[in-house]
Structures are given as structure tokens and as C-alpha cells.
Amino acid sequence: MGLKINRPRRGSMGVYPRKRASDIVPRVRTWPDPNLGRPSLLGFAAYKVGMLHAVVVEDRQTSPLFGKEVVRAATVLEAPPLRVLAVRLYSLDPTNGYRKAVGEAWAPEMPKDVYRAVKTLPEKFDLEAELKRLEAVKGAAVDVRAIVATQPRLAGIGKKTPEVLEIPIGGVPSVEDRLKFALDMLGKEVRASDVFSAGGLVDVLAVTRGKGWQGVIKRFGVKILPRWHKHRKGHRRTGTVGPQRPALMFTQPRPGQMGFHQRTEYNKRILKIGNNPAEINPRGGWPHYGLVKGDFLILAGSVPGVQKRLVVLRHPVRPPPKAPTSAPQLVWLSVQI
């Protein structure tokens, strides 16, 4: 018998094409709608601050360390309140079954910073006329979404221009209840503690750290060819880029863009939601970030992206069946960086 060779393909085809993300604001294609018993936003946005390690009490009963103190890596996110700018209704298009916007209502007064991000907004809105149009089309509506803006001025990143994104409203099956909640929140602020709670799970979506144009060794992890005199055409490269016909195989590892891709990581547990920055701010501030000034979240594990990167949080799309839901017991946080 010959030598059995195990050579899995290099890289995943599930993330092709490996090109730069089109926008720094992550695009969310799926919004899970848990039965919360109350109307609520189904997601939130925050800024990545940095990482630390936390000593927590293990509360998974199936773990051999149940009831003991364990050390976990954790990520700090600063989450200034979101401001609700508008409410938008969607109905189903009878021709193709897709959702289409049928009406929206904007808050009568806009923060000045919003015009930095959306320069085509008018200065004033006729809220009464917009509410009448919503009342006329709400019978056919199947989805209610809020157009929200971040408030980076309240964070420690030295930025003025907000990010504007659309987040659905759910938690209850009634569209009328969701619309009433959305109109009540129009022009107001929503905090992270209004959407999530400590101990819960979230999915995080963010754009990863960009690394520019890289070769096949770093980009795909292919094997470095032997460095001897007969390998005269290079070593940090693939032996062949494909057969004679077809002349080019896109599945073959090739040099190109690495990093700055949108990625989703699932089931990150919220260790803490707080509003006292003194609990987590190091004496000299966070490297490459500064000082946290307001609300913050601490998530177990790592989060894609660099410091100051926008991170979108949503309810878990596939939560584990036996995950603990109560707030974990935090013993100590390492903020001495």
C-alpha cells in the first residue's frame, strides 16, 4: 500500500470572494426575533475598545469546573445610546414576495451630526402628514424597522460623524404594538440595557482588521516549498496555478486582499452591562482608543476588528439549548494595562 496523504484544501470557499467590505457598517441579513413579551429593538451598535481577562465563577453545570473561579478572555465595547431618527414600514410585494418599504416617518428635529452622514436630509419634516400616511398603510405592513444613528461624540474615539443603520423592532407578534412602540421612541434614545441583559448571548458582526495585499503563504497557509537549488522559481508560492485548460482555477490559492472582510461570530456571552466607566478604564486609558465615557458591555471572547471599529450586536441566530441565562458572577477584571 502506498503512503496515505491527508492534504485538505487551503482556505475556505465559504467566504469567497475575499475582497474588501463595501461598508464599515456591517450588513445584517438575518434578524432573529425572540419572544420577549415586550416590543424592543432586535439589535444594537457599539464600538470596540480592547480586551482584558476576567475572573468569573463557572456556572455551566456540565463543566468539571462548575462553581469554581476561572479566567476568561473578554472584550470591552463602548455602547453610547442610539438615537431613533425614523420609523419605516415594510409590506410584501405581491409580484415576487420580497419586502418593500411602504411608508416612513422621521423625527421633526434632527441632531446636527446626522447631516454629516446623510447630506440629503431636509432640515424639517412634516411629522403629522407622515403619520397619516403610515396610518393608511399599516394594515398591509408585515415589518416595522427603526432608522437609528450612533452618537460617537459620547464615546472616547474622537469622532463626530455618526453611523446610520436600520434595526428591526420585534419581541411581540403584533405589528400594531411594534409600530406604537416605534412611534413612542421616535426622536428618543435607546440604551444597550434596554435591548440586552447580562448573561444573555449575542451574535457580533464586524469588519475584520485589514492587512492589505498578501501572498499565498500568509493568506491561505500553503506549504513553503523546499529551499534548494532546483527550486529556482520561488519558495513562498504554489507549485502550479492550475491545468492547461481551464487555464485559471479560482479555487487555487492566489495572492490578493487579506482582511477588512465582514465576519459574524456566534454566541458571545454578555458578562456585564455597566454605565460606570471607572470600573474598566485603565489609569492611562485604553491603547489606541482612549477613555470609555459612558455605557459599556463586556463580552466573553474576542470580537472581529480593530479598536474603534463599529460592532453590530443581535440576538443569537442559533443559541445552544442549555446555555445559562442568568448574569455571571464577576470576581475580578484586569484593567491594569
Per-residue pLDDT reduced to its tens digit, 284-330: 999 999 999 999 999 999 999 999 999 999 999 999 998 898 999 99
Q: Per DSSP, what are the bridge partners of residue 147?
A: 86, 166
Backbone angles phi, psi at 217, to 5 degrees: -65, -50
- Domains contained in the chain, CATH given: 18-27+37-79+192-226+255-337 (2.40.30.10), 81-190 (3.30.1430.10)
For 173-219, write each residue's pLDDT tens digit: 999 999 999 999 999 999 999 999 999 999 999 999 999 999 999 99
Name the β-bridge partners of 48. Answer: 77
Kindly tell me if the per-residue pLDDT of 6 is higher than 90. no
d(CA 78, CA 155) in angstroms, rounded, equals 7
Say if residues 100 and 91 touch (Cβ distance below 8 Å): yes
pTM: 0.94
Q: Is 45 helix (H, G, I), strand (E, B) or coil?
A: strand
Distance CA 244, CA 170 (A): 55
Q: From residue 159, how far is each of 150, 154, 218, 240, 308 by CA, in Å?
A: 11, 9, 33, 47, 10
Q: How far is it, in rounded angstroms, from Cα 76 to Cα 42?
A: 21
